[in-house]
A and B are shown apart, each in its own frame.
Chain A
């Protein structure tokens, strides 16, 4: 170029004006500080939430699905018949599958087929959290709940591979098409391509309510097989039960330290 110096100065001048202009635009969007988010005063606080399943009591009411129905209705969990695409937060698994280390070749045949209520164990050492590449699933330090952030989930399904309990489901299809019972507007649905699981009803605990399955079980006549509470609190119902009666965990040898206990 002939006028390289002159041209350079022109461009430099325009750039300075542009930067100043942009700075001026920025101050135009300065509209005050906004507010801040705080914890709700109704929140139930626990240091380590845990669940106790009284398996004997649960079995007494054969065919009862009150807890499953309540959970799936409240959380908009779709009912999909195809086992390859099904989504579940709480379900029944035969004894020999839920407790493979307890069942042996001479276990009563009838016991092997008995259904055991299973959900996410909210492990103290959760393998799903370790493998999640986006921290879409993480363990809440304050109360031990293994949470799921659907906004961050990229659907890679590492967590499903890592979870030894099969507690996680992937949305292979739009779940809204499989919500025959209608949608509960109080809780979001999920979208195709994300993983979901039981969240110990974190949204209900924040309102001071117990988990939906526990409430449904308590209300259904003659039950009360599900108990929820703070395991760190020695006065809680769950702590007392665990100290008084014999209980087992699912696959304890894996070192995940499940926080769901089964009274036998």
Chain B
């Protein structure tokens, strides 16, 4: 093998570089990190079931946005028959009062960057909590 030593050295460096994310998080003891959104205390139910919200909250928010802005329908009747005012700042943040401890937990983890808060008001930030 010509230049076997150089090739092997190159391969070792390559493998170290490629596996960087794995051993870096292992060294820093962050392997197996799971985001833990903090649920509001004293609240049992969201507007829909937890499974529904986990899977489809973004669809629901889109549906809410179109209902209010385009059709002027401002009340949400949930599948269980409860009525809620459709409002991101009012209803969602009314319970999930700390955006940094709830929304941002998973969004940061998966690198999702929704631009809701460019316009909608994060009341936890204006109270000086969160970021």
Binding site for B on A (CB under 8 A): 29, 31-41, 43, 140, 142, 147, 149-151, 183, 185-186, 188-191, 202, 206
Contact = CB atoms under 8 A, between A and B. Distances in A.
A33 B80 CA distance: 11
Contacts of A33: 79
Contacts of A43: 72, 74
Contacts of A35: 47-48, 76-79
Interface in B43-90: 47-49, 51-52, 55-56, 60, 63-65, 67-79, 85-86, 89-90
A37 B67 contact: yes
Contacts of A150: 119
A185 B89 contact: yes
Interface stretch (B2-10, B23-31, B120-128): B120-128
Q: Which secondary structure dominates where chain A touches chain B? A: loop
Given A29-B55, A189-B121, A191-B118, A147 B49 contact: no
Contacts of A38: 73, 75-77
Nearest to B119: A188
A78 B47 CA distance: 34
Nearest to A192: B118
Interface of B: 47-49, 51-52, 55-56, 60, 63-65, 67-79, 85-86, 89-90, 115, 118-121, 123, 126
Given A34-B56, A37-B86, A183-B126, 20 more contacts: A31-B56, A32-B79, A35-B47, A36-B76, A38-B73, A38-B76, A39-B72, A39-B74, A39-B75, A40-B75, A43-B72, A149-B69, A151-B65, A151-B69, A185-B89, A188-B120, A189-B121, A191-B118, A202-B72, A206-B72
Contacts of A34: 48, 52, 56, 60, 63, 78-79
B119 A190 contact: yes
A37 B89 contact: no
Contact of B48 (A32, A183, A189): A32
A147 B71 CA distance: 11
Given A37-B86, A149-B70, A183-B126, A32 B119 contact: no
Contact of A189 (B67, B71, B72, B119): B119
B58 to A, nearest CB: 12
B70 to A, nearest CB: 7
A29 B69 CA distance: 27
Contacts of B52: 31-32, 34
A35 B76 CA distance: 7
Contacts of A147: 69
